[in-house]
Chain A
Amino acid sequence: MLSELSFNEMIGVLQFPGSNCDLDVIHALKDILKTDAKLVFFKDQDLSGLDGLVVPGGFSYGDHLRAGAVAAKMPVLDEIKKFAELGKPVLGICNGFQILCESGLLPGALTKNTSLKFVCKWIEMEVCNDTSTFTMEYTKGQVVRMPIAHGEGRYFCDEKTLKQLKDNDQICFRYRGENPNGALDNIAGICNEEGNVLGLMPHPERASEKILGGEDGRKMFECMLGYIRSR
């Protein structure tokens, strides 16, 4: 539960050419969670004054070369790395997850769905880690529903990395029931070792209002705000 005292968190939502879900994240943060949020154009590399950062979904650079590959090499990613090193929360949603992996902030890679088709539907996930910045208010084992919408969502990493992810409790969400894209070990979302950077393929900003289909995504933003306030 959010406290009723007013806080002044400012959450940045990164905007690359081709980002699509930036305004949806702003809507979830400002209109639903009543926090301050603003767009950060990728050319403005100044992340000072931000308490948290969301790298939203979309098709940055048209997904050319590989999804997220071009965006990941933009200078603003250096600032994001520094931001994360300070322990501040960074959330990568869908294309954002792809960008974080391509930039090295998260291990592994996302590649084409095994069906070779774009898939848009609501799926079930199991919460596998309830200690990371973005999952600390969920309960391990809890089943949540969120929508996916991607063509390159199949998570992959080598055996060594997978072992590390498991040993360090970095796997935050796994698909439950059906694996919609062929992801290794049903992985839907992971975090870094420290737990303050999380990437996932499903869209929590589309699951923050009942009228849109469900509210399980809202908690992810609440976790971030709770984490910021406790620091």
Chain B
Amino acid sequence: MDVEITVKLKKGLLNPEARTIGRSLNLLGYKNVSDVDTKKVFFMRIDAASKDVARKQADEMCRRLLTNPVIEDYAIVVK
């Protein structure tokens, strides 16, 4: 299965990089841009018996390695 995992900082946490990019875009003249945010996306293929099995594994992988559960949330899409 093709799996897509999107990782984002938890709500309420500061994202300094997104903020700097947003301000820089404004400075370059794109004054109509606001609320810039960033996410990380991992793409991979998981060889599993079913979508549920793949999702469960992806979830475990997120908690073990791909995300920092203290500060990040994640969403899994299994295609």
- A residues neighboring B (CB under 8 Å): 61-62, 64-65, 70, 73-74
Contacts and interface: CB of A to CB of B under 8 A. Distances in A.
A64 B28 contact: no
B24 A61 contact: yes
Interface of B: 16-17, 20-21, 24, 27-28
B21 A62 contact: no
Contacts of A70: 20-21, 24
Contacts of A74: 27-28
Contacts, number: 19
A62 B23 CA distance: 13
B20 A62 contact: yes
16 contacts: A61-B20, A61-B24, A62-B16, A62-B17, A62-B20, A64-B16, A64-B20, A65-B17, A65-B21, A70-B20, A70-B21, A70-B24, A73-B24, A73-B28, A74-B27, A74-B28
A37 B13 CA distance: 42
Contacts of B21: 64-65, 70
B16 to A, nearest CB: 6
Contacts of A64: 16-17, 20-21
Nearest to A75: B28
B47 to A, nearest CB: 29
A70 B24 CA distance: 7
**Max chain B CB contacts within 10 Å: which of A61, A64, A65, A73?**
A64
A128 B17 CA distance: 37
Nearest to B29: A75
Given A64-B17, A64-B21, 16 more contacts: A61-B20, A61-B24, A62-B16, A62-B17, A64-B16, A64-B20, A65-B17, A65-B20, A65-B21, A70-B20, A70-B21, A70-B24, A73-B24, A73-B28, A74-B27, A74-B28
